[in-house]
Amino acid sequence: FLAFRKGAWEEVGRLFGSRPRAQFLEELRQMCRKGGACE
């Protein structure tokens, strides 16, 4: 799973920039759960 650094967050922001923020955050949580990266 990707280790998110500032540059990685900016890249993710570009990829998902067209999505509503709430939807983006929910998808990010799901990605974290699958990757085991979120506490």
Where are the chain's structural domains?
Answer: 6-35
What per-residue confidence (pLDDT) applies to 29?
82
Distance CA 20, CA 35 (A): 22
Report residue 10 as tokens.
Answer: 């900016």
Name the residue with tokens 């998808």: 27
pLDDT in tens, 1-39: 455 566 677 777 777 666 667 777 788 788 777 777 665
What's the gap between Cα 8 and its chain centre?
Answer: 9
Distance CA 28, CA 36 (A): 12
Report residue 11 as tokens.
Answer: 């890249």
> Alpha carbon of 17 to those of 21, 27, 36: distances in Å?
8, 13, 24
What per-residue confidence (pLDDT) applies to 16?
67
